[in-house]
Structure 1
Amino acid sequence: MTTVVLTRPKGKNDRLAQALCQLGVQSVELPALAIARTFTVLPQDYDPQGFDLLIFVSAQAAQLYLEALTAAGKTLAAGTRIATVGAASAQPFYQQPQHSSWQLIHPPASHPRQDSEALWVLLQPLLPDVQRVLLVRGQQGREWLSQQLLGQGKILTRCCIYQRLAAQWSAKDAIQLQPDLVKPQSVVFLLTSSESTRSIYHNIVRLGWESLWQQAQFVAIHPRIADCLIELSAFTPAQAAAQIHVCAPTETAMLEALRSVALP
């Protein structure tokens, strides 16, 4: 039986694990990263009323910002422009009762790219009316979107609302996985960021499982993550084509990709 390794931060894997179980697919939860809030009450410097556009790079950033905003006793005003890098990243806003009063901008769920580049295309018509931009993100991340905004002369404020801490898998964690790793192609790793991919790989190396890693299957939610995996693992083109499967970063797409790999 194939085992799916769910590697998102703790608390983010439950729905996917339940859905896989209903399909008869076994899964284990081994988070690659832990999320630590930078603050719980929104500082005045990041008050949404001081900006023409708010950009969020992940659903995690959006959710933590909303919670910090509420803790500060504030709300998003009607007409607030809110941009996210994908449809999944916008979900925390759509779950708010007043979401219809905001201007939500993101690539549609059907778009093949759910990333900064796709969002940048959508932002082009708005740029003449935008001067002050708040970019809400983790402490580490790509600088591409920041560079585009600065290149257009925008006043950019970065709000680092969380940090990602690499998780170190314990011997107890490893016991969950070891019986499956010794069987070729019986493990599928879900990879949801380049940073988490590096963390997973470092755990594999520390545990001495590099040769077994070379036989595993992988589902990555962006081609950039697949490229990171190829670089880390020194996969040949043939290995990459056979072992890496790229899907959209939605729960539905991840579930379908994992199902198709685990139950070919």
Structure 2
Amino acid sequence: MGARSVLVTRPAGQGDRLCNALTARGFTAHHLPFLDLEPVEPLPAVERARILDLDRVQHVIFISANAVNFSLPVIEDYWPQLPAGLHWYAVGEGTARALAAFNVLAQTPGENMSSEGLLELPGLRDCAGQRVLIVKGQGGRDTLRVELERRGAQVDTLACYRRVRPRMAPGELAAMLARWQVDLICISSGEGLETMLALLSPAETTKLQTVTLLLPSRRVADAAMAAGFRHCLIADNASDGAMLRALERWTLVKGENT
């Protein structure tokens, strides 16, 4: 079996490690960000007030490493010494490492890198009457906030960055995928899948339904299948390691069938 062509769609600056790992495993790796990230500047007054109230919060949850990297420098402008006694949470190990760079030790849910995983952590199971700050990008899922409020917590959000779809002419994405002869597209979020679908016409989407999508969760895979894709490979989470493990399983199956 010859080298297979894989498209990595992580934001700019965040796909190099995965591309290098793919190349080392004999794949042909291409990187095309499906989302650009930019800071929310200036922060709205309500967001600044939430930072100023940080010492009144019991739990601070970071949804991604991007949330850490966009928010902590801003938070440190207001709090050169972070308030003591806070409970810090990270959705996954990559987010926890980003926090550690700011000398913040965070709890993580392990392999279940999701809102559902965070909700299983002991500190968030019984949070009635406590204040929670969720640090995230604009938009995205609301599952975490809704469930924590159902449990009796007072929940605020700090949206410190926004996701922006790349500007591409009609037909440009489909032409690139055809030129690169892409066998598999690695999509690391639901927003990334939405971007791909928005950049393809219905006819182009139909033509690409034989391409395999590597996705970070069953939820995103269900959305892909609802859009007509039938070859969906589900990783344990969105990390590079989980994506590579799923890809290795796919390669093994493909090799057995050739």
Q: Is the 8 A contact 2:129 2:153 kept in 1?
A: yes
Of residues 72-81 and 83-92 in structure 1, the stretch that sits farther from structure 2 once superposed is 72-81
Local SS of the residue matching 2:185? strand
Which of 201, 205, 208 does residue 201 from structure 2 map onto?
205
Which of 188, 203, 214 does residue 184 from structure 2 map onto?
188
User: How many angstroms does 1:78 deviate by?
Assistant: 4.3
> Which residue number corresponds to residue 157 of structure 1?
156
> Given residue 38 of structure 1, which amino acid in structure 2 is its aligned partner?
V
Q: Is the 8 A contact 1:4 1:262 kept in 2?
A: no
Residue 227 (structure 1) aligned with residue 222 (structure 2): yes
> Given residue 41 of structure 2, which amino acid in structure 1 is its aligned partner?
F
TM-score (norm 1): 0.82
Structure 2: where are the runs of 5+ without partners? none
User: How many angstroms does 1:116 deviate by?
Assistant: 1.1
Residue 29 (structure 1) aligned with residue 36 (structure 2): no
Of residues 31-40 and 17-26 in structure 1, the stretch that sits farther from structure 2 once superposed is 31-40
Q: Is the 8 A contact 2:129 2:154 kept in 1?
A: no
* Percentage of pairs with the same residue: 24
Residue 244 (structure 1) aligned with residue 232 (structure 2): yes
The 1:4–1:262 alpha-carbon spacing in structure 2 relative to 1, beyond 3 Å, is farther
User: How many angstroms does 1:37 deviate by?
Assistant: 1.0
The 1:54–1:214 alpha-carbon spacing in structure 2 relative to 1, beyond 3 Å, is same
> Which residue number corresponds to residue 212 of structure 2?
217
Residue 38 (structure 1) aligned with residue 44 (structure 2): no
Local SS of the residue matching 1:69? helix
Q: Is the 8 A contact 2:173 2:200 kept in 1?
A: no
> Which residue number corresponds to residue 137 of structure 2?
138
TM-score (norm 2): 0.83
Structure 1: where are the runs of 5+ without partners? none
User: How many angstroms does 1:197 deviate by?
Assistant: 0.1
> Which residue number corresponds to residue 5 of structure 2?
3
Q: Is the 8 A contact 1:30 1:169 kept in 2?
A: no
Cα distance between partner residues in 2 of 1:34 and 1:155: 31
CA deviation vs aligned residue, 1:163-222 (integer Å, no higher than 9, x gap):
1112233577655422244xxxx521111111110111221227x522331110111111
> Given residue 135 of structure 1, which amino acid in structure 2 is its aligned partner?
I
CA deviation vs aligned residue, 1:80-130 (integer Å, no higher than 9, x gap):
21112233332211233x33xx4x22212xx3x221112111145663586
Residue 58 (structure 1) aligned with residue 57 (structure 2): no
> Which residue number corresponds to residue 107 of structure 1?
109
**How many pairs were matched up?**
245
> Given residue 21 of structure 1, which amino acid in structure 2 is its aligned partner?
T
RMSD: 2.6
Cα distance between partner residues in 2 of 1:187 and 1:212: 13
> Given residue 140 of structure 1, which amino acid in structure 2 is its aligned partner?
G
Cα distance between partner residues in 2 of 1:159 and 1:82: 14
User: How many angstroms does 1:70 deviate by?
Assistant: 3.1
User: How many angstroms does 1:259 deviate by?
Assistant: 4.2
> Which residue number corresponds to residue 258 of structure 1?
247
Q: Is the 8 A contact 1:2 1:180 kept in 2?
A: no
Q: Is the 8 A contact 2:173 2:199 kept in 1?
A: no
The 1:190–1:33 alpha-carbon spacing in structure 2 relative to 1, beyond 3 Å, is same
